[in-house]
Structure 1
Amino acid sequence: MRVLGPVEVRGPDGPVGTGGPKPRALLAALVVQARQVVSVERLIDLVWDESPPSSATALVHTYVSTVRRGFAAAGRAGALSTRAPGYLLDIADDDSDLGVFERHLALARRAERAGEHVAAAAAYEAGLALWRGPAFGGVDARFARVRAEGLAEERLAAEEGLARCGLALGRAGELVEPLRRLVSANPLREEARALLMRALVDGGRQVDALAVYREGRKHLLDELGIEPGGRLRDLHAAILGGEVAPLPAPAAPVVAPRNLPPDVGDFTGRAEHLEVLLRHGVERSGSPVVVISGAGGAGKSALAVHAAHRLREHFPDGQLWADLRGGDRDLDAFEVLGRFLGAFGVAGADLPTTVESRAELFRGAVAGRRVLVVLDNARGEGQVRPLLPGEPGCLVLVTSRGRLTGLVGATPVELGFFDTALSTELLGKIVGAERVAAQRAAAERIADLCGGVPLAIRAAGAKLLARPHWPLRSLADRLSDERRRLDELSVGDLAIRSSLALNYVELTARQRRAFHLLCVLDLPDFGWWAAAPLLDLPLAEAEDVVEQLVELRLLDVAGVDGIGRVRYRFHDLVQLFGAEHAAADEPAELVAAAVSRTLGTWLALVEAGVRKLPRVTLGLRPRLAGAVPVDPRLVEEVEENPTEWLRSETAAVVRAVERAHELGVDGVTALLITSLLSSPFAARNEFDGWQRTHEVALSAARGSGDRRAEAIVLTGLGQLHHEKDDFPAALEHFRLARDHAEAVGDDATLAVAVVGIGTVGRDLADFAGATADLETAVLLGERVGDPSVVAAAHYGLGGLSRDHGDLDAAADRFRRCASLYRDLDDRRGEALALRGLSLCHRALGDYARAADLSAEAADTLEAVGDELGATYARQSWAKARLRTPDAGGVADALDECLRVSTRRGDRFGVALATRTLGEYHLAWGERERARGLLVEALGRWEGLGLPLWQARTLRDLAAADPDRGTEHWRRATELFAGCRSRETAELAGRDPRTWLAEVRAHL
């Protein structure tokens, strides 16, 4: 490669073709950054300055092909390779005339300072012989012009150095004419003029020397308006006095090292973090040391290098960079200090032999100077401390996976991962914004599958860059397969596995096993205590192990839960990495035992929590025998705040149940946990977790052929679908559960199934069938000694009696129900029975008593944490209060009922609150508003398939919509008759107008 003149590549037979000006500009850009990856975006900036064509990316690829053909013709195939996100020119210094010139120049200067003028002159001559004209000839790009100007300065300095050596060797006569030409070409250059004056004096031509001075002074005054410098004036005075001293040895040039790696051309995001770094560099306020920490692949090095390039002008005395991890080994301070001192011109023979002495010499070298130091990939504080300049005018940027809190006074900058938008933006900068914009959905999917890790996004981008024919969806589909995702995110030296492995190798045997097993569980988040049963460790040791994983950046802190405990989670890619190693390194029986212990611990803790909460669902609620021993401190923590503990742990428990099933571990424990969780799931309307655990338990029961277990799970699924207001699905599951329970003679589960069938039948207005089923459930519950089933059946029978108009029988049922729940110390059940009783009083016209009972029920339900139950009781209070002279607060209460039901996804509750609001506005004569609400409620009841509630809403709508009142009234009475409800008799002989008048009479 030759750039000291026209840019060209030479082979054994001379120059080879490298294309026109643009390919040569690309070649020149790669030469000046040899052995460094130059991104496509950076090449575009260099080749076209600030005006690239729209096809610039494609043209870069074309020019690269052209240059590669040139290298192949020169016998250097492979010198230019593709390295994401761009290209790498892999040539040695001696493979280019630029590198050889710089080597000769360094040798010459070193020899000249040592007084070895013959060797120095030879080196200067060898370097100057390489020049064939202005550097980077034929390349008009700005970077080439700037670099050419700097090289022209170096060339002049070499010519001056050669002249100094010639004078020292007594060759003044040979130097006059070459120096006269040099001065003529560079009339303002004082060093060349001084050398010409010395050559003339040494040849006995003092008069000519003085004339050269006068000529130079005139140039300086005419063109710059300044006098000659002190050195030239002193030489002039010495000539006049006839006392010219011997030529002094040249002063060592002031070295300002510039060894930063290339800037990141596609740098993305990090605006706030970058601002912190720039503020430290520009204002030099605060600590002169900034530690940039974050997980592997988060882009710490990219941020540090980008900030360093932005700050170069503020640190004119040099910028130093060192990768402290140095590829396959750590670099110690001794070696790095040697490199830094060498960059400042200290010869290898002069380097001290101890770290302390080198650190002292380094601090002396930067004393009084403004130097920027980037220390990349530091492992610990001990690597960094000897490399700190200790000079307030300097700035040190350290990147590390650890926070290096031992560097007292350092400013911390913590990097997280990108969100989808920034990840997609970075992908667009790598593969082309147009390509990403045209396939935005697939690009965002790739970004999400990369988990926001910049290194992973770069690997994905490199793969797409190498395959321009691929639609982005192809890579997205490949990344979706968890088994191959880490393989897909490996291109050249961009590999997630390699990045994670740097910290993985530091794990002790215990930490490694904890990492493996926690990754196998694949929990959404977890408390540190989970490591105790996994590893069979005491709690304190388990916490230490988990925190050590955090320190090594293999585990993230997810936050703090409602009872003040730290929660942790794995990044998706880290979890895949850990599970991959677990599959290779951990015996299957060890994994099974660990998961079984952990599942058993969760079972004991869930049981302790559920025991303290009101019971919402029926069915199996086991007391544990022979359970896994659990540290009492964990049980106490659960019992102190069971609601918050379950809220925090539920997602992890659900996933643990799923993983246990996937691994074929401990199906019985999974079934018990599933049954226990039904009640808190129902209380919080958490349908997803409820469904997932029951599907796992159902699959396990069917897989083992255990019909009793299957019946138990089916009752849970029936209750789930009933809570979701999916009445047909609920009925189907309850009936299947009944069939299995009957087949195996499990009367306890049969009782739960039958009471479920009766409850759903009542909702669907199958009053005859529901009555028979609920009466059967009473008998079954009494036979098996399950008062909760008996109470639930009485509740349903009370509702049926009320719907039929037998209000005395209904009230008796609700009182018996309340008594049973009271004996069970079930305050929630008792409160629900009181609400049912309040509806009987309302139907009898005793509105004040009805309101009081509903208010009492609401207060109790709220106290036991049943928000939805309390909401239904508030609705009952509002409806009763609406029919009293004092209806204050009704509208606000109903609005709150609607908000809660909507937030909780309770479709029945939303329909009920909407209808009651319609009744409220109807009672106050606001027909139009009432009509809109009642029409909405009717649509909701129709969607739920509940004919009795449709009829009740149509009755109200007949009064609110007089234009269609007759039609609504007719449909309502037909539905009431079909359901055989009490409203058939209540509406006999009435029409919408008279019915509404009776309602208003109570206001």
Structure 2
Amino acid sequence: MGEGTGRLTVCREGTAPAAHGNSTNPGTGGTGEGQVEFRILGPVEVWLDGEQYTLDGSKQRTVLASLLLARGRILADEKLSSFLWGEEPPNTAAAQLYTHVSRLRKLLGARAAIRRHRPGYLIEIGTALSDHVEFERLSAAGRAALAAGSHQEASGTLGRALRLWRGPALANVTEHLAGMGLPGLEEARMVALESRIEADLALGHGNQLLAELTGLVTAYPLRERLRGQLMVALYRADRQADALGVYHDGRTLLAEELGVDLGPALTGLYQDILSGEPDVGPVAERSPLRVTPPEPVLSDRRPATLPSGVPDFTGREEPARQLADLLVPAHGGGSSGIAMITGMPGVGKSALAVHVSHRCRDAFPDGQLYADLREPNGAPADCYQVLGSFLRSLGMAESEVPQERAERIRCYRSLLADRRVLVVLDNAASDRQVRCLLPSGPGCGVLITSRSPLTTLEGTHLVDLEPMDGPDGVVMLAAIIGEVPVAAEAGAARALTAACGGLPLAIRVAGARLSSGSHHSPGRLLNRLRDESGRLDQLRLGSMDVRASLESAYWDLDPRARAGLRRLALLDVPDFASWVTAAVLEVSEEDAEDVMDALVGARLVTVLPVPGDAARVRYRLHDLVRLMARERAVGEEPVAGRRAAVDRAMGAWLALANEADRRLTADRPGGSGGGERPWLGDRPDGPGAGLAVRKAGPPGVSARSGGATRWRLGATHVRSLLADPLDWFDQERAALVAVLDQAVRTGRIAQAWETARSMTGYFGLRGRHDDWRYTYQRAWTVACSGGDLLGQTVILRGLAELSAVLGDEGARRGYENKAGLLLQVLERQGGTGEDGVQGAAAAGWS
């Protein structure tokens, strides 16, 4: 055992037990016998009963080390993938990750469990030992002893913690994990080292520390705590001039490297040495050097850093009232609240926040603080810098602003404890960024804007902002360009705001273009916006850029969510369910739901609850989000990849529609899953007899029937979706018709007519005869243009069936006769050939 730890056999005063070779796992790997030791403070290793076991290369070591560093928390697949391959994982990343995890499970057996929990993996080490865990335990205990003045105990405990290190941590993992994980581990080691030296200084061991400290300051010249400790050791060794020289060396280095001066702790120590302060003299058992920052200086300054209000601000009366009620309690009593505005990019969150803040400013007589928590490049702002700005706005002199983050927070909260100040935090990126900026005083109000709702912030009330409806959008346009031009072209104005998707940023850009004189009327600008390929170009003027606003949210997504958004945008459907995402991404239904959660959280996708079924939802893309995502798809994915994604989505709809249609037939009296449908006139020898879909295969396997691709979902998911096939058709009708239209426009012939055929039974049951005729006529167009005789035959038979339902016997016979002629052509030509095309034309649509 290490000195009295009783925990880890990995270290005996810095030595490791001798390895007995790189043996393989003895016996049965899953017996659960033997003590496992995990080591990451040096090369990543696994030991069992004193023997080291081989791990298969750097990637397997990376997976193990990543899970160990997560300390029992779930590590998402995307994060693990980035540790393994960086920003460009291979197409087989998921399979390779699964293989690495499987091999680790086999190696560890029951001694440590690697479990799958969406959206990733976690490790439960149980009774296994970990040098990282033991280091953290000893380090915390040593620092606690130091704080309590138990310097001998602190020195010994921290020394044992440091001896667990066998060299640079994570020495044999991928560069991606090392780049992310090593800085934090190294910082923890340096804190423990500095604390151990502090304890040794307090014990009067300064002379013994001089060589070590000199080397450390040379290796880590920017660590001011080490530099100060060397100055103390030198002073106590009666080397005052050398101590002062160490200070000046550090000051020169910081000025040249970073353009800043040394911190107040080191500066105070320098002054103590200059004045011969006895507290730093060579006395044994001396308390370690501590510098207590000054208490914040109270000031009567009233900050007023709100941006100017928007003069032509219109609408949003209800959310503005809600926010004002949250920030300013009724009757002037009680505590002010924390309110948060969420919504998609460009929806007007910042404008509303500024408007409400000015409206409520009289309720906060001690001032208003404002900060944009995004840098100009879209990166999250450093709250350390924001705190410094706030403290200066509150009257603290630059020289008094603390250098330590924790002290800045303490001063900030102390200054606001008894004040009534409104704090506006715009464009927040995360709850962690916001927490350090929350005032503690009950009289302060906080207004936050964020795309994603930061629901982990306690006591926060959310106000979700939606795009403007038609009338409000027109009122906003009139406020920008005037009521006369809007009234003169009222219809064009309404269409213009609709083309802007009700997005205030887009409406403001359109209004600015009209006001600038580059377009003379709403009608002329509307004509430019009708061209979807250039719409986002028109919605950019000066610093206002709808595309850039939407792309900022896009680039905040993880790679899989970005791919999902790009591919979903390629579909011309009004709305869709999460299983469509599974098809376009080729992932499981569960993973697809995770992707949709991310897109909804980023406010790039809207949730549409299914009426009467709160557990089921559908999703919709905003028109401008769709245009932006399509541009990203063209820029980031090859043509073949985009077409394949659309094919999979259409194939998923078709496979489900065929199965739902089969179940509708089976559910009818006397039905048997393909039995007779008298109202449709099905015949066993009819033209559709050869179009039966193959039996269901495993999820994701595509099949063809009549030429159209199928994408099969998991059997369990299909059973759940189609528990009520008629209800499923009711939900998917608009999407199926839109899929058929897109298939026609893009020349997917078989997809068009097979989709039309799959909806025939549903249209018959619901009496949707106009939809029946429309879908068949659309499919006929593309089948004729492509010379698909089988498709034409099926369409003619379907129209004959519709005519029979409508009681038009003459039309029914005409369609049947044309279908018969085509069947004869198909029989003569084997279903293909130039004669078949000519026969189709002869029997064509009239």
TM-score band, normalised by shorter chain:
0.5 to 0.7
- In the alignment, structure 1 residue 325 sits paired with structure 2 residue 387: no
Residue 609 of structure 1 is matched in structure 2 by: 660
Aligned to 1:623, which of 686, 692, 708?
692
- In the alignment, structure 1 residue 578 sits paired with structure 2 residue 629: yes
- Give the counterpart letter for 1:624 in structure 2: V
Aligned to 2:328, which of 282, 285, 305?
282
- Residues 319 and 372 of structure 1 are in contact (CA less than 8 Å); yes or no, is this contact kept in structure 2? yes
- 1:928-967 pair list within 5 angstroms: none
* 1:581 CA displacement: 1.3
- 1:278-357 pair list within 5 angstroms: 278-283=324-329, 288-328=337-377, 329-357=379-407
- 1:584-599 pair list within 5 angstroms: 584-599=635-650
* 1:670 CA displacement: 3.5
* 1:650 CA displacement: 2.1
* 1:731 CA displacement: 7.3
* 1:266 CA displacement: 1.5
Q: From the superposition, tell whether residues 362 and 286 of structure 1 become closer, same or farther in structure 2 (CA, over 3 Å).
A: closer
* 1:716 CA displacement: 2.5
* SS in structure 2 of the partner of residue 396 of structure 1: strand
* SS in structure 1 of the partner of residue 569 of structure 2: helix
- Give the counterpart letter for 2:644 in structure 1: A
- Residues 459 and 494 of structure 1 are in contact (CA less than 8 Å); yes or no, is this contact kept in structure 2? yes
CA deviation vs aligned residue, 1:331-389 (integer Å, no higher than 9, x gap): 12111111111111212221111222111111121221110111100011111111111
Residue 447 of structure 1 is matched in structure 2 by: 497
* 1:473 CA displacement: 0.8
- 1:255-266 pair list within 5 angstroms: 255-266=301-312
- Give the counterpart letter for 1:605 in structure 2: L
Distance 2:755 2:340 in 1: 46
Q: From the superposition, tell whether residues 641 and 492 of structure 1 become closer, same or farther in structure 2 (CA, over 3 Å).
A: same
Distance 2:785 2:519 in 1: 46
- Give the counterpart letter for 2:754 in structure 1: L
Residue 546 of structure 1 is matched in structure 2 by: 596
- In the alignment, structure 1 residue 703 sits paired with structure 2 residue 752: no
- Residues 280 and 286 of structure 1 are in contact (CA less than 8 Å); yes or no, is this contact kept in structure 2? no
- In the alignment, structure 1 residue 498 sits paired with structure 2 residue 561: no
- Residues 459 and 491 of structure 1 are in contact (CA less than 8 Å); yes or no, is this contact kept in structure 2? yes
Q: From the superposition, tell whether residues 369 and 562 of structure 1 become closer, same or farther in structure 2 (CA, over 3 Å).
A: closer
* 1:441 CA displacement: 0.6
Distance 2:320 2:414 in 1: 30
Q: From the superposition, tell whether residues 727 and 254 of structure 1 become closer, same or farther in structure 2 (CA, over 3 Å).
A: farther
Residue 430 of structure 1 is matched in structure 2 by: 480
- Residues 479 and 485 of structure 1 are in contact (CA less than 8 Å); yes or no, is this contact kept in structure 2? yes
- In the alignment, structure 1 residue 524 sits paired with structure 2 residue 570: no
- 1:650-665 pair list within 5 angstroms: 650-665=733-748
Distance 2:412 2:477 in 1: 41
Q: From the superposition, tell whether residues 318 and 527 of structure 1 become closer, same or farther in structure 2 (CA, over 3 Å).
A: same
Q: Name the structure where helix makes up a greater proportion of residues.
A: 1
- Residues 304 and 397 of structure 1 are in contact (CA less than 8 Å); yes or no, is this contact kept in structure 2? yes
Q: From the superposition, tell whether residues 332 and 682 of structure 1 become closer, same or farther in structure 2 (CA, over 3 Å).
A: same
Residue 225 of structure 1 is matched in structure 2 by: none
* SS in structure 2 of the partner of residue 608 of structure 1: helix
Residue 484 of structure 1 is matched in structure 2 by: 534
* SS in structure 2 of the partner of residue 407 of structure 1: coil
- Residues 750 and 791 of structure 2 are in contact (CA less than 8 Å); yes or no, is this contact kept in structure 1? no
Distance 1:281 1:253 in 2: 24
* SS in structure 2 of the partner of residue 364 of structure 1: helix
Aligned to 1:271, which of 317, 320, 333?
317
- Give the counterpart letter for 1:714 in structure 2: L
* SS in structure 2 of the partner of residue 378 of structure 1: coil
Count matched residues.
Answer: 497
- Residues 287 and 409 of structure 1 are in contact (CA less than 8 Å); yes or no, is this contact kept in structure 2? no
* 1:311 CA displacement: 0.9
Q: From the superposition, tell whether residues 286 and 363 of structure 1 become closer, same or farther in structure 2 (CA, over 3 Å).
A: closer
Distance 2:303 2:664 in 1: 70
* 1:685 CA displacement: 3.4
Q: Which deviates further from its counterpart, 724-733 or 557-566?
A: 724-733
Distance 1:267 1:536 in 2: 45
Q: From the superposition, tell whether residues 744 and 362 of structure 1 become closer, same or farther in structure 2 (CA, over 3 Å).
A: same
* 1:515 CA displacement: 1.0
Distance 2:512 2:399 in 1: 44
- Residues 305 and 369 of structure 2 are in contact (CA less than 8 Å); yes or no, is this contact kept in structure 1? yes
* SS in structure 2 of the partner of residue 483 of structure 1: helix
TM-score norm. by structure 1 comes to: 0.47
CA deviation vs aligned residue, 1:430-460 (integer Å, no higher than 9, x gap): 0101111121111001011111111111111
Q: From the superposition, tell whether residues 688 and 341 of structure 1 become closer, same or farther in structure 2 (CA, over 3 Å).
A: farther
CA deviation vs aligned residue, 1:88-134 (integer Å, no higher than 9, x gap): xxxxxxxxxxxxxxxxxxxxxxxxxxxxxxxxxxxxxxxxxxxxxxx
* 1:404 CA displacement: 0.4
* 1:727 CA displacement: 8.7
* 5+ long unaligned stretches in structure 2: 1-296, 666-676, 683-687, 695-702, 705-710, 832-846
- Residues 290 and 396 of structure 1 are in contact (CA less than 8 Å); yes or no, is this contact kept in structure 2? yes
TM-score norm. by structure 2 comes to: 0.56
CA deviation vs aligned residue, 1:905-950 (integer Å, no higher than 9, x gap): xxxxxxxxxxxxxxxxxxxxxxxxxxxxxxxxxxxxxxxxxxxxxx
CA deviation vs aligned residue, 1:672-713 (integer Å, no higher than 9, x gap): 222121121232233564345324422332132122321221
* 5+ long unaligned stretches in structure 1: 1-250, 750-1003
- Residues 479 and 488 of structure 1 are in contact (CA less than 8 Å); yes or no, is this contact kept in structure 2? yes
CA deviation vs aligned residue, 1:263-295 (integer Å, no higher than 9, x gap): 111212211211112213332656621011111
Residue 239 of structure 2 is matched in structure 1 by: none
- 1:136-155 pair list within 5 angstroms: none
Distance 1:653 1:523 in 2: 8
- 1:885-964 pair list within 5 angstroms: none
- Give the counterpart letter for 1:597 in structure 2: R
Q: From the superposition, tell whether residues 724 and 269 of structure 1 become closer, same or farther in structure 2 (CA, over 3 Å).
A: farther
* 1:641 CA displacement: 0.7
Q: From the superposition, tell whether residues 428 and 569 of structure 1 become closer, same or farther in structure 2 (CA, over 3 Å).
A: same
Q: From the superposition, tell whether residues 267 and 719 of structure 1 become closer, same or farther in structure 2 (CA, over 3 Å).
A: farther
- In the alignment, structure 1 residue 668 sits paired with structure 2 residue 750: yes
* 1:638 CA displacement: 3.9
- Residues 477 and 507 of structure 2 are in contact (CA less than 8 Å); yes or no, is this contact kept in structure 1? yes
Structure with more relative contact order (C-alpha pairs < 8 Å, separation 6 or more): 2
- Residues 320 and 372 of structure 1 are in contact (CA less than 8 Å); yes or no, is this contact kept in structure 2? yes
- Residues 499 and 529 of structure 2 are in contact (CA less than 8 Å); yes or no, is this contact kept in structure 1? yes
Q: From the superposition, tell whether residues 590 and 281 of structure 1 become closer, same or farther in structure 2 (CA, over 3 Å).
A: closer
- Residues 327 and 336 of structure 2 are in contact (CA less than 8 Å); yes or no, is this contact kept in structure 1? no
Residue 568 of structure 1 is matched in structure 2 by: 619
Residue 684 of structure 1 is matched in structure 2 by: 766
- Residues 557 and 569 of structure 1 are in contact (CA less than 8 Å); yes or no, is this contact kept in structure 2? yes
Q: From the superposition, tell whether residues 736 and 257 of structure 1 become closer, same or farther in structure 2 (CA, over 3 Å).
A: same
* SS in structure 2 of the partner of residue 320 of structure 1: strand
Q: From the superposition, tell whether residues 724 and 263 of structure 1 become closer, same or farther in structure 2 (CA, over 3 Å).
A: farther
* 1:556 CA displacement: 1.0
Identity of aligned residues (%): 38
Distance 2:590 2:653 in 1: 18
Distance 2:813 2:756 in 1: 20
CA deviation vs aligned residue, 1:212-244 (integer Å, no higher than 9, x gap): xxxxxxxxxxxxxxxxxxxxxxxxxxxxxxxxx
- Residues 517 and 534 of structure 1 are in contact (CA less than 8 Å); yes or no, is this contact kept in structure 2? yes
Residue 5 of structure 2 is matched in structure 1 by: none
Q: From the superposition, tell whether residues 331 and 719 of structure 1 become closer, same or farther in structure 2 (CA, over 3 Å).
A: same
- 1:99-498 pair list within 5 angstroms: 254-283=300-329, 288-328=337-377, 329-467=379-517, 470-498=520-548
- Give the counterpart letter for 2:543 in structure 1: D
Q: Which deviates further from its counterpart, 719-728 or 350-359?
A: 719-728
Q: Which deviates further from its counterpart, 597-606 or 512-521?
A: 597-606
Q: Which deviates further from its counterpart, 484-493 or 281-290?
A: 281-290
- Residues 680 and 802 of structure 2 are in contact (CA less than 8 Å); yes or no, is this contact kept in structure 1? no
Distance 1:728 1:524 in 2: 37
Distance 2:735 2:508 in 1: 32
Distance 1:474 1:446 in 2: 10
